[in-house]
Amino acid sequence: MQPPINANGQGSTVRGACPHDCPDTCALLTTVQDGRAIRVQGNPAHRHTDGALCTKVSRYTERSYHPDRILTPLRRTGPKGSGQFTPVSWDEALDEIASRLKPIAARDPQAILPYSYAGTMGLVQSEGMAARFFHRLGASHLERTICATAGGEGLVHTLGGKVGMKVEHFAESKLILIWGSNSIGSNLHFWRVAQQAKRDGARLVCIDPRRTETADKCHEHIALLPGTDAALALALMHELIVNDWLDHDYIARHTLGWERLRERALQWPPERAAQVCGVPVEQIRRLARDYGTTKPAAIRLNYGMQRVRGGGNAVRAIACLPALVGAWRDRAGGLLLSASGFFPIRRQALHRPDLLAGRTPRTINMVTIGDDLLREASPTFGPKIEALIVYDSNPVAVAPESGKVVQGFAREDLFTVVLEHFQTDTADYADIILPATTQLEHWDIHASYGHTDVLLNRPAIAPVGQARPNTEVFRALAARMGFDDPCFADDDLSLCRSAFGDAVDFEQLLDQGYATLPIPDAPFADGGFPTASGKCEFFSERLARQGMDGLPDHLPNHEPAGSDPRHPLAMISPPARNFLNSSFVNVKSLRDIEGEPLLEIHAHDAQPRGIADGQLVRVFNDRGEYRCKARISERARPGVVNGLGIWWRKLGPSGTNVNEVTSQRLTDLGNGPVFYDCLVEVSACA
């Protein structure tokens, strides 16, 4: 480990980066005394962090030194799922893993599946060494879709990449649409910028089925039905057209497919959209007027709204709006869903797909892990999944239709390894658990999807217990599998260096912890979108060539509200404010704030069902059921219930969580999940 920087008599301060799946990617300062981290704070010198962390990560030391941290490798001793394990040495654990994987790999390495997501966003500890290992092995590919691919593809097919406004310039916007985002809970540093704009006279409009804490603080809240965002966007276009609130010059010079989009949008008068979205027609008209006549106008889109069947189309429709009014001309106008496409990450150098040596393994979508773990071998599927190596993810809690996921993980003939900090719901089903380091204990390097700075994370403390970084685990496994390619000897600092190569000044990263990418303030003021045409593509030839609609449209949910009398309520499952996906659920101080799993339900829906506030309820559909407390609240709109997530199953009232009822169906673009496209019924428990 490199020595901490800024040593002084009072201990030392080490610069790092928040590893969590959050657009803010904060710069951390960890104070270390006598080898122990005593405080984690936001770095005041980093303009996006501005010295502030969210409640979750400001308690990071509580997480790192949590009494439940897994400190040694563990081997299962009881039935799968029982959580019974005994400590073993690293050598025993690694030898056993290699001895189990070798015969499977000899038969067909595609029977081995990695399963990982954004438990850390670090480029090194996520896939830096892991991808090399799985490529060399020839394991099945994992399609990492569980969060953002529908929206990402929507952006790619419209703007050409995951690109957009620079977050700091929202401070100068005069109208901000906060669309599908509870920014106070999940994009705190953007919210600080939006507050600045509000103080300077900007109007803030929140578009979200749930009346979130963010909606409370905006000037207006538009509580549309889940999965109807494209209809709203098309109606806004309709109004922009009929009122001629358009920037004709920008459209002519920097867009593609205007006439066709115009024709499509004219099919969406506000009256039609109002009916589909379940909002008053006047609200749509007012929003269109505000958007068409306020300059600069900006949209902060987030990923919640794209977790429905038509999520990709919805993002396409919304991403067309700024070009129609010429909002991109101003640095404080445009749209931001993700900035990650700006980062010149050298993924080939990190992941080394050349190690596949011409093999083309099948791909398994992480969203359908429930079904896929239960499939037998077949010519279309390929070999049955015999081994699963899980890192940076907790699929038993977070993957949809968890009844099937649990059934799959419980298979006695499945060999499962889990790299983890804690004994999560997934770790309970492992054959071997390997203790992983936290962000305070390893090197990493980070891009961001909410700003345009690269951050370096230095280890602040030695690994707790016998924990090891993911990279070290995959290096050791590679050695035991007999992989002697030189790339498995790369150390973590070298991996950090190679992530961006010469595109980022690594000395600056070592020196100050972050480096800003040279992105123009208004990157599309004069067009120059990273599409094939260089224009904002209202019509996508690429989609049309694939047999899809080249224009954005409203695609009704797989399970539209009102379509099933047995399950009349639409359910969304946004994160509880103090959790981040399933991370932090076991941090007691945060769990104490959240209390217990809750379902927000409007009085209009609770009263006819005889549901009282605080009562235990059963939430169910044909996929399954879970139990939680009902909170009668205006945060839920009539007809929609909010099942706050994502609680660990074992901490819920009946050992289940909200994903018992979500489905494994996929989005229109990007093969993403449809967590918010889900019909349920709710009944009071006796």
- Residues engaged in binding ligand SF4 (CB under 6 A): 18, 20, 22, 24-26, 53-54, 56-57, 188, 580
Q: What three-state secondary structure class fits 615?
A: coil
* Axis-axis angle for helices 311-324, 149-156 (nearest 10): 40
Rounded Cα gap, residues 446 and 499, in angstroms: 9
Helix (H) or strand (E) run with residue 200 in it: none
Q: What are phi and psi of 454, to 5 degrees?
A: -90, 140
For ligand SF4, give the closer residue by CB, 540 or 586: 586
What are residue 334's DSSP bridge partners?
A: 298
Q: Please report how many Cα atoms fall inside a 13 Å half-sphere around the Cα of residue 143, on the Cβ side.
A: 17
For ligand SF4, give the closer residue by CB, 189 or 567: 189
Q: Closest separation between CB of residue 165 and ligand SF4, Å?
A: 19
For ligand SF4, give the closer residue by CB, 48 or 144: 48
Rounded Cα gap, residues 437 and 422, in angstroms: 11
For ligand SF4, give the closer residue by CB, 241 or 587: 587
Contact 637, 602 (CB under 8 A): yes
Rounded Cα gap, residues 456 and 511, in angstroms: 10
Q: Closest separation between CB of residue 615 and ligand SF4, Å?
A: 33
Q: Closest separation between CB of residue 250 and ligand SF4, Å?
A: 34
For ligand SF4, give the closer residue by CB, 186 or 664: 186
Query: Which residue is it, tokens 């931001």?
Result: 336
**DSSP 8-state class, residue 439:** G
For ligand SF4, give the closer residue by CB, 25 or 667: 25
**DSSP 8-state class, residue 610:** T
Contacts of 595 (CB under 8 A, 6+ apart): none
Q: Closest separation between CB of residue 451 and ligand SF4, Å?
A: 10
Q: What three-state secondary structure class fits 450?
A: coil
For ligand SF4, give the closer residue by CB, 351 or 442: 442
Contacts of 156 (CB under 8 A, 6+ apart): 162, 341
- What's the CA dihedral at 394, 154, 123, 300 to 10 degrees? -90
Rounded Cα gap, residues 665 and 642, in angstroms: 20
What are residue 175's DSSP bridge partners?
A: 203, 297
Please give the distance of CA 73 from its chain centroid, rounded to a whole number: 29
For ligand SF4, give the closer residue by CB, 56 or 210: 56
Q: Closest separation between CB of residue 136 and ligand SF4, Å?
A: 33
Query: What is the SS3 string spanning 201-256?
Result: CCEEEEECCCCCHHHHHCCEEECCCCCCHHHHHHHHHHHHHHCCCCCHHHHHHHEE
Q: What are phi and psi of 628, to 5 degrees?
A: -165, 175
For ligand SF4, give the closer residue by CB, 132 or 451: 451
Q: Closest separation between CB of residue 57 and ligand SF4, Å?
A: 3
For ligand SF4, give the closer residue by CB, 121 or 373: 121
For ligand SF4, give the closer residue by CB, 158 or 581: 581
Q: Closest separation between CB of residue 31 and ligand SF4, Å?
A: 16
For ligand SF4, give the closer residue by CB, 20 or 174: 20
Rounded Cα gap, residues 125 and 463, in angstroms: 14
Judge if the upstream peptide bond of residue 400 is cis by omega within 30 degrees of 0.
Answer: no
Q: Closest separation between CB of residue 21 and ligand SF4, Å?
A: 8
Q: Is the dihedral of CA 269, 275, 279, 281 positive or negative?
A: positive
- Closest by CA to 233, choosing from 316, 159, 336, 329, is 316
Q: Closest separation between CB of residue 56 and ligand SF4, Å?
A: 6
Q: Closest separation between CB of residue 48 and ligand SF4, Å?
A: 9
Q: Closest separation between CB of residue 217 and ligand SF4, Å?
A: 17
Query: Which residue is it, tokens 């009916």?
Result: 275
Q: Closest separation between CB of residue 226 and ligand SF4, Å?
A: 24
Q: Closest separation between CB of residue 589 and ligand SF4, Å?
A: 15
For ligand SF4, give the closer residue by CB, 51 or 562: 51
